[in-house]
A and B are shown apart, each in its own frame.
Chain A
């Protein structure tokens, strides 16, 4: 299988009043055709910025890709302009946003909004597009007669289904879901995840699932990448990373999570707070919070190193970590 998307050494920053916020710092990521990748991290880890960079939807004046390549289907998107990108967005790559109420236009019916995708990419007439939109709604479990209604007439879970319908309308190669269920209740979240899983299989779409919820990754994804301060600290298959987390940050993250199938007496806490993009530490971005920090960590930045066929870690303590693993 070929690489559908390859991000090479990407740097993105935002101009703010307080200075330059370095949101993404040396991101490397590969997504293969039909793969489902979970991109996890805490607030401010650069997850959403990475997604917006792929779509080139960064805020025009403040956000900037400083360096790096985003190769999608063998084309470097960073060098392309709107005219080309508009053909890609929604057709080859689409995105589902966190808040379905703000990502849908309140003054258009949902039939019109989904229909627009078909009109834009397939030059369908309004009538045909409307019909297609109705079919798409049925796919996500909403009766097509409701296409005449407006977003506010739907509940949160339904709105997210509409978002999914619009984003999958053209059967894209890659779907980026940015925290699609964070705003939803658990039972509704389960419905939406089930739908995503089903449609992903049906259309063989590659999926980047951006979330802070590790449980969702465990249920939905084959692979996972753990992001922190704009770069990836650990990457691998879900089985490998969830069973044997290696990076001190990933380990800390797992130990600090309460789980309903697991009884922890006390939650682990990580010292300090997520590093500030305005003022990133030298060397490894995690070094101020790391429990096994060395001198070297404060000077150099570790690269992702392969430690098992499907497991990569960016940490100088790699050898030590492996030893622990064998014991």
Chain B
């Protein structure tokens, strides 16, 4: 296989909570994200560390320890000009299109800003580039003289996407880009993201709590629970043959619109436990419906259980044919 675009190695982020200890937001995550128009979906419930991980990948947050190699170079050791160059290639689309656009600025100046920051200052060139962007995204030019509040949620998110695309990145973190939108608008944005991915050969990390959206857009899916990746596999494989007890419960919990099919439900007991000072046992132990004594012995690590299927659970047998 060719070299991955992004290599995440033992990435950790702990936050100190006054008087309570260390919050393990992202705890020892290692994944490779292949380049060339792929999407890695990242799912998990609120507070599991998805966004923290996303922010670190574009270096909006520095980790406690660990590395993220972008084309072989650790992004956290880059400085000055190199760091700026790297940022050009890695962009982020935020969840809330209301708070991620400056309400005092015209759409035109919001879209010009990335160019100015990166040294493209000639007004004519900027205008040309913006026009090209709007053309790719299929937006009419009159939007440029409007303010964010004049646009609806879907259009606003499109501007968020335009801004992320402006510097021709090859990697974009999409942090719940459709969660704040209505179903009919959600479909528009998802289609748009898929279209431009094909057109521009982009790689996405698509963060969402909505498994059906992730299934639709991703080639590979990682499931996160309390700061750890508990399962990682190709989309088809993960949805057809989930192995981790948490993933199984998560899948069975989603209400489906296809009626008349009886599905077995696994209802998890209790709430997601606190990520502050977790015990060194399996993080899912307290809620697991398939736990045994051994699960309290040690923290399981992400292991290859099937060809192309990584699971972090000691109860899942290894099935690799040589």
Give the interface of A toward B (CB within 8 A): 42-43, 155, 157-158, 185-191, 193-194, 212-216, 218-220, 238-239, 242-243, 252-254, 256-262, 264, 266-270, 273-274
Task: Please tell me if the beta carbons of B253 and A187 are within 8 angstroms of each other in the complex.
Answer: yes
Task: Please tell me if the beta carbons of A257 and B257 are within 8 angstroms of each other in the complex.
Answer: yes
Given contacts A212-B183, A243-B259, A269-B184, contact A186 B271 (CB under 8 A): no
Find chain A residues with CB under 8 A from B209 CB: 185-186
Expressed in whole angstroms, the Cα–Cα distance for A309 and B249 within the complex equals 38
Task: Please tell me if the beta carbons of A273 and B211 are within 8 angstroms of each other in the complex.
Answer: no
Partner of B183, one of A185, A186, A253, A264: A253
Task: Please tell me if the beta carbons of B261 and A193 are within 8 angstroms of each other in the complex.
Answer: no
Find chain B residues with CB under 8 A from A258 CB: 190, 212-213, 215-216
Partner of B212, one of A155, A158, A190, A257: A257
Partner of B216, one of A157, A218, A264: A264
Q: Which of B182-211 contact A (CB under 8 A)?
A: 182-188, 190-191, 194, 209, 211
Find chain B residues with CB under 8 A from A157 CB: 271
Task: Please tell me if the beta carbons of B259 and A242 are within 8 angstroms of each other in the complex.
Answer: yes
Expressed in whole angstroms, the Cα–Cα distance for A189 and B268 within the complex equals 10
Task: Please tell me if the beta carbons of A186 and B250 are within 8 angstroms of each other in the complex.
Answer: yes
Kindly name the residue among B183, B261, B271 whose own CB sees the greatest number of chain A CB atoms within 10 A. B183
Expressed in whole angstroms, the Cα–Cα distance for A322 and B134 within the complex equals 41
Expressed in whole angstroms, the Cα–Cα distance for A238 and B260 within the complex equals 10
Q: List 7 A-B contacts (CB under 8 A).
A: A187-B253, A190-B252, A215-B254, A220-B255, A258-B215, A261-B261, A269-B191
Expressed in whole angstroms, the Cα–Cα distance for A264 and B258 within the complex equals 13
Residue of A whose beta carbon sits closest to that of B287: A187
B154 on the A face (CB < 8 A): yes
Find chain A residues with CB under 8 A from B183 CB: 42, 212, 253, 256-257
Task: Please tell me if the beta carbons of A216 and B259 are within 8 angstroms of each other in the complex.
Answer: no
Q: Which of B147-197 contact A (CB under 8 A)?
A: 152, 154, 182-188, 190-191, 194
Residue of B whose beta carbon sits closest to that of A190: B253
Find chain B residues with CB under 8 A from A213 CB: 255
Expressed in whole angstroms, the Cα–Cα distance for A266 and B255 within the complex equals 21
Min distance, Cβ A234 to any Cβ of chain B, angstroms = 15
Partner of B256, one of A42, A158, A189, A215: A215
Find chain B residues with CB under 8 A from A186 CB: 45, 209, 211, 250, 253-254
B291 on the A face (CB < 8 A): no
Task: Please tell me if the beta carbons of B256 and A260 are within 8 angstroms of each other in the complex.
Answer: yes
Find chain B residues with CB under 8 A from A269 CB: 184, 187-188, 191
Given contacts A187-B268, A218-B258, 12 further A-B contacts (CB under 8 A): A43-B182, A155-B271, A158-B271, A186-B209, A190-B252, A190-B267, A191-B269, A212-B183, A215-B257, A259-B256, A260-B215, A267-B191
Residue of B whose beta carbon sits closest to that of A157: B271
Expressed in whole angstroms, the Cα–Cα distance for A260 and B247 within the complex equals 13
Expressed in whole angstroms, the Cα–Cα distance for A191 and B255 within the complex equals 12
Find chain A residues with CB under 8 A from B191 CB: 266-267, 269
Given contacts A157-B271, A187-B45, A253-B184, contact A260 B253 (CB under 8 A): no
Residue of B whose beta carbon sits closest to that of A289: B184
Find chain A residues with CB under 8 A from B98 CB: none
Task: Please tell me if the beta carbons of A42 and B184 are within 8 angstroms of each other in the complex.
Answer: yes
Contact with A along B251-288 (1 / 0, CB 8 A): 11111111111000101110110000000000000000
Task: Please tell me if the beta carbons of A216 and B255 are within 8 angstroms of each other in the complex.
Answer: yes
Contact with A along B85-113 (1 / 0, CB 8 A): 00000000000000000000000000000
Given contacts A155-B271, A185-B45, contact A256 B255 (CB under 8 A): no
Q: Which of B41-68 contact A (CB under 8 A)?
A: 45-46
B239 on the A face (CB < 8 A): yes
Task: Please tell me if the beta carbons of B45 and A256 are within 8 angstroms of each other in the complex.
Answer: no
Partner of A191, one of B185, B211, B213, B267: B267
Task: Please tell me if the beta carbons of A260 and B184 are within 8 angstroms of each other in the complex.
Answer: no
Task: Please tell me if the beta carbons of A267 and B182 are within 8 angstroms of each other in the complex.
Answer: no
Expressed in whole angstroms, the Cα–Cα distance for A215 and B184 within the complex equals 15
Find chain A residues with CB under 8 A from B182 CB: 42-43, 212, 274
Find chain B residues with CB under 8 A from A274 CB: 182, 184
Expressed in whole angstroms, the Cα–Cα distance for A185 and B46 within the complex equals 7
Min distance, Cβ B179 to any Cβ of chain A, angstroms = 11
Partner of B255, one of A155, A188, A215, A262: A215
Find chain A residues with CB under 8 A from B259 CB: 218, 238-239, 242-243
Find chain A residues with CB under 8 A from B256 CB: 215, 218-219, 259-261
Kindly name the residue among B190, B239, B257 whose own CB sees the greatest number of chain A CB atoms within 10 A. B257
Given contacts A238-B259, A267-B191, contact A260 B268 (CB under 8 A): no
Expressed in whole angstroms, the Cα–Cα distance for A239 and B257 within the complex equals 10
Min distance, Cβ B240 to any Cβ of chain A, angstroms = 10
Task: Please tell me if the beta carbons of B187 and A268 are within 8 angstroms of each other in the complex.
Answer: yes
Min distance, Cβ A73 to any Cβ of chain B, angstroms = 31
Find chain A residues with CB under 8 A from B250 CB: 186-187
Partner of A219, one of B188, B211, B251, B255: B255
Kindly name the residue among A191, A238, A242, A269 whose own CB sees the greatest number of chain B CB atoms within 10 A. A269
Find chain B residues with CB under 8 A from A215 CB: 254-257
Kindly name the residue among A189, A253, A273 whose own CB sees the greatest number of chain B CB atoms within 10 A. A273
Task: Please tell me if the beta carbons of B271 and A260 are within 8 angstroms of each other in the complex.
Answer: no
Find chain A residues with CB under 8 A from B188 CB: 269
Partner of B184, one of A158, A191, A252: A252
Task: Please tell me if the beta carbons of A187 and B212 are within 8 angstroms of each other in the complex.
Answer: no
